[in-house]
Amino acid sequence: MEAKINYSIVGFLVLILIVAFIFSSVWLTVGFDKKSYDVYAVYMREAATGLSEDAPVKYNGVKVGFVKSIKLNRDNPQQVQILLSVEHGTPITTSTTATLISQGITGTTYVGLAAKSPDLTPLLKKKGQPFPVIPTTASLFNQLDNALKGVSENINSVTLEVKRVFDKENAENIKDILMNLDKFSKTLGESSLETQTLIKNAALASKSFPSITNNLNSGLATIAQHTVPEMNLLLQRLNRIAINLEKASSEVKQNPSVLVRGATPRKPGPGE
């Protein structure tokens, strides 16, 4: 009887251990934190190199889901269709954008989400869309690739312009310009002595300007001293002559016979 009881206890304990092992395995692999996910679509116009299914989806660096599927867009083979499983309640808004982010050159690639504004208007699917579509922005490598292409095109255009400038005809013109500059510099060197002499004479002339100015001022003062008084006397005489002429003209108008008989003697006054 005791042996049967011991076997029963041992069997019960073994059963408990098996159940605990199964429970632990399920908990470690699946987990019991059941989360609901919303599916969003992303259409990339670049190669999804390094991205794989079950790759993480991060919102501002915080993991909020995973990549559900990756395939070509049947309606547009230039695009890659990526379906994202995002935790329900994640603020996917109308300003949310998706981009491919690589963790280093040889690291894994994940989908990064970010909001361009604090607006919380939720992103909804439009008519005819199976899932809401999150707009995309170019990845860093894609931006670098485009920038390098632009630089390469600019270098090519500059090279063509340089070739055009230094063609045979323009090269001859540039050669003539350089020769003329050389001749001008030689001529300038030969005439440097004459130029220096001219500069010295100009300096001496500028030094003589003050004395010339003083002499001119003194001459003007002398002329003014002797001429102005005489001019005043002349003006006074001319003024008296003008007054006499005006009187004579008035008398002729009143009595024209004055021109023949002369002026009538003035009547004597009382007592004269």
- Tens of pLDDT along 235-248? 777 888 878 777 77
Q: Which residue has the higher pLDDT, 189 or 138?
A: 138
Q: What is the mean pLDDT of residues 134-147?
A: 75
121: which DSSP letter? Answer: P
Give residue 1's pLDDT band: very low, low, confident or very high (50, 70, 90): very low
Instruction: Report how far residue 123's alpha carbon sits from residue 97's, in angstroms, rounded to the nearest whole number.
Output: 11
Phi first, then psi: give them for residue 41, nearest 5 degrees.
Answer: -105, 145
At how many degrees (to 10) do helices 168-190 and 192-254 cross? 80
Q: Which residue has the higher pLDDT, 63 or 15?
A: 63
pLDDT at 179: 82
pLDDT at 183: 76
pLDDT at 121: 92
Q: What is the mean pLDDT of residues 176-194?
A: 72
Q: Which residue has the higher pLDDT, 24 or 99?
A: 99
Q: What is the mean pLDDT of residues 193-220?
A: 69
Give residue 249's pLDDT band: very low, low, confident or very high (50, 70, 90): confident
CA 251 from chain centre, in angstroms, equals 92
CA 227 from chain centre, in angstroms, equals 72
Instruction: Report how far residue 40's alpha carbon sits from residue 87's, in angstroms, rounded to the nearest whole number.
Output: 11
pLDDT at 34 over 90: no
Q: What is the mean pLDDT of residues 170-187?
A: 76
Q: What is the mean pLDDT of residues 103-132?
A: 88
Residues of the chain above pLDDT 70, percent: 64
Instruction: Report how far residue 18's alpha carbon sits from residue 28's, in angstroms, rounded to the nearest whole number.
Output: 15
Highest mean pLDDT among 20-29, 76-85, 239-248: 76-85
Q: What is the mean pLDDT of the chain?
A: 77
pLDDT at 189 over 70: no
Contact criterion met (CB below 8 Å) for 66 and 56: yes
pLDDT at 5 over 50: yes
Residue with tokens 């632990």: 24
Give residue 82's pLDDT band: very low, low, confident or very high (50, 70, 90): very high
**Taking the domains of the chain in order of start, what are their residue ranges?**
37-137, 167-252
Helix (H) or strand (E) segment spanning residue 102: strand 96-102
Partners of residue 122 on adjacent β-strands: 93
Please give the model's pTM, rounded to 2 decimal places: 0.47
Give residue 56's pLDDT band: very low, low, confident or very high (50, 70, 90): very high
Q: Which residue has the higher pLDDT, 122 or 242?
A: 122
